[in-house]
């Protein structure tokens, strides 16, 4: 069985040199939580520049769906690169963009006939949805959620309400967006308990927000993540999206599912919204869609995507190499990986739930497929967030060769490649358990 191999003090000598250079030349706005300098990666294993080997449960922030450098994705990239690198799908036609649009239109759980817009990132996919919702409805208002992360361009950032640092000094934002609380049952803003609450958080929107402050007939869209990602891998109760979608339909409001993190098989279904039995009007996709090549897509009902030539476009969006990587990725997801995400996700979730019995600090363990999180608290009764413990667990896991990332204020996320094996889940659980012991108790 393969295990992490840490040969040097971390960071090692080569990594230290490179980090020094990075600190001179690279933007200081990036959020590196530990000093990992990657050299090479394969599957779920990452080697740093000092030849230390790590088990990667971050997948490049939930991107490397098929694992690092999957041979079939690499081969699709190579073949396409030899044939056509770029032509700009904005001004010209080419096969990979058309073929991927057809494939996504067939896959997407969007109502009716669908069309696809291509960009290069999650933010661009959300930005496109934001503009299309305004274009189609000619309405100016929008709803988004506290805890939501939709990206960092000014439109997408205006919809984001994840961490104040992301918005500091950037006001004013695009006007007309109202943020409301997400269905975060572990910390219900109405102080109610599910299921007795009857999903009162959705009723509150109509009874309070629409009645007092926000005329619903002026709202273009509700932007919502099926499961909040950066916000803490927060899974709403089963009825939440259904009720919210019903409300949206009642007032002709578009339902925009931001599937950038939940999409492409990560939750064990192709799209996160499928767990909630809701078919949105528009969806945004990125991250796992092309296994690491830059690509974003916005899929909408054809009758909604009624904007004119010139109203929105991107030079690089739908690049042929990224499209080829996406086709190979979708093949792999459909063949085995989506199913594997479901099976390994259950193993991981059960393993963490067993550890929760012994670790008081593991306040909540939640997940769908390979989108799994542990929320750390100082006290199970008060649920006081334990951000310092969370940070320390992540750092200690790194020193032991396990790569993890945080999410929300005090949660740790587990989002490995969908190729992860039961043995790799076991190794992760063993190291995580040790890291929690060292960091907290």
Cβ at position 120, least distance to ligand PLP in Å: 8
User: Is 43 within 8 Å of 33 (Cβ atoms)?
Assistant: no
Cβ at position 422, least distance to ligand PLP in Å: 27
Residues 223 and 248: their CA atoms lie apart, in Å, by 11
Helices (H), 251-337: 320-332
Cβ at position 390, least distance to ligand PLP in Å: 18
**Closer residue to ligand PLP (CB): 230 or 243:** 230
- Side-chain-side CA neighbours of 179 within 13 Å: the count stands at 14
Cβ at position 210, least distance to ligand PLP in Å: 25
Cβ at position 380, least distance to ligand PLP in Å: 28
Helices (H), 251-335: 320-332
**Closer residue to ligand PLP (CB): 261 or 439:** 261
Positions touching ligand PLP (CB under 6 A) are 121-123, 126, 149-151, 225, 229-230, 258, 260-261, 286
**Closer residue to ligand PLP (CB): 49 or 418:** 418
β-bridge partners, 53? 5, 47
Minimal CB distance residue for ligand PLP: 122
Cβ at position 314, least distance to ligand PLP in Å: 13
**Tokens (6 digits) for 200:** 């009162």
Phi/psi at 6 (nearest 5 deg)? -110, 110
Residues 428 and 398: their CA atoms lie apart, in Å, by 11
Cβ at position 28, least distance to ligand PLP in Å: 18
**Closer residue to ligand PLP (CB): 343 or 409:** 409
**Closer residue to ligand PLP (CB): 123 or 362:** 123
**Closer residue to ligand PLP (CB): 50 or 258:** 258
How far from the centroid of its chain's Cα atoms is residue 429's Cα? 22
DSSP, res 286: -
DSSP 330-369: HHHIIIIIHHHHHHHHHHHHHHHHHHHHH-TTEEEEEEET
Cβ at position 140, least distance to ligand PLP in Å: 22
Phi-psi region of 264 (alpha: psi -120 to 50; beta: other; left: phi over 0): left
**Closer residue to ligand PLP (CB): 216 or 268:** 268
β-bridge partners, 66? none
**Tokens (6 digits) for 72:** 């079939």
β-strand pairing of 219-224 with 141-145:
parallel
**Closer residue to ligand PLP (CB): 118 or 149:** 149
> Of 1, 121, 142, 138, whose CA–CA distance to 61 is shortest?
121
**Closer residue to ligand PLP (CB): 116 or 362:** 116
Angle at 333 (CA atoms; ends 330, 338), nearest 5 degrees: 145
**Closer residue to ligand PLP (CB): 37 or 286:** 286
Other residues' Cβ atoms within 10 Å of the Cβ of residue 180:
19
Cβ at position 150, least distance to ligand PLP in Å: 5
Residues 74 and 70: their CA atoms lie apart, in Å, by 6
Cβ at position 33, least distance to ligand PLP in Å: 15
β-bridge partners, 115? 300
DSSP, res 385: B
Angle at 249 (CA atoms; ends 161, 303), nearest 5 degrees: 95
């Amino acid at each position: 069985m393969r295990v992490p191999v840490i040969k040097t003090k971390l960071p090692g000598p080569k990594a230290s040199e490179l980090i020094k250079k990075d600190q001179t030349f690279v933007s200081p706005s990036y959020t590196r939580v530990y000093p990992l300098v990657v050299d090479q990666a394969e599957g779920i294993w990452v080697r740093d520049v000092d030849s230390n080997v790590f088990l990667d449960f971050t997948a490049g922030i939930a991107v490397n769906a098929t694992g690092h450098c999957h041979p079939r994705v690499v081969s699709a990239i190579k073949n396409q690169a030899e044939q056509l690198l770029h032509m700009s799908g904005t001004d010209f036609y080419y096969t990979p963009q058309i073929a991927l649009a057809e494939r996504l239109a067939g896959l997407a759980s969007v109502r009716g006939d669908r069309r696809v817009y291509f960009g290069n990132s999650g933010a661009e996919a959300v930005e496109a949805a934001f503009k299309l919702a305004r274009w189609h409805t000619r309405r100016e208002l929008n709803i988004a959620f506290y805890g939501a992360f939709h990206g960092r361009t000014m439109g997408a950032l205006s919809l984001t309400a994840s961490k104040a640092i992301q918005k500091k000094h950037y006001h004013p934002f695009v006007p007309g967006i109202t943020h409301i609380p997400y269905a975060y049952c572990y910390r219900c803003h109405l102080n109610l308990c599910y299921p007795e609450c009857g999903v009162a958080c959705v009723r509150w929107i109509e009874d309070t927000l629409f009645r007092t402050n926000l005329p619903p007939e002026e709202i273009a869209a509700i932007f919502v993540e099926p499961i909040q990602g950066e916000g803490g891998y927060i899974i709403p109760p089963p009825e939440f999206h259904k009720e919210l979608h019903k409300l949206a339909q009642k007032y002709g409001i578009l339902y925009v599912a931001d599937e950038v993190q939940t999409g492409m098989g990560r939750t064990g279904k192709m799209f996160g919204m499928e767990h909630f039995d809701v078919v949105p009007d528009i969806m945004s996709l990125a991250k796992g869609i092309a296994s690491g090549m830059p690509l974003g897509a916005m899929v909408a009902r054809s009758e909604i995507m009624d904007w004119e030539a010139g109203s929105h476009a991107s030079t690089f969006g739908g690049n042929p190499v990224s499209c080829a990587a996406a086709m190979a990725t979708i093949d792999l997801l459909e063949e085995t990986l989506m199913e594997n995400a479901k099976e390994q996700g259950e193993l991981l979730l059960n393993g963490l739930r067993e550890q929760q019995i012994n670790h008081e600090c593991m306040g909540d363990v939640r997940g769908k497929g390979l989108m799994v999180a542990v929320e750390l608290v100082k006290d199970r009764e008060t649920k006081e967030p334990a951000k310092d413990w969370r940070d320390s667990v992540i750092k200690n896991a790194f020193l032991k060769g396990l790569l993890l990332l945080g999410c929300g204020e005090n949660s740790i996320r587990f989002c490995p490649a969908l190729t992860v094996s039961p043995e790799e889940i076991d190794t992760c659980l063993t190291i995580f358990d040790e890291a929690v012991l060292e960091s907290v108790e």
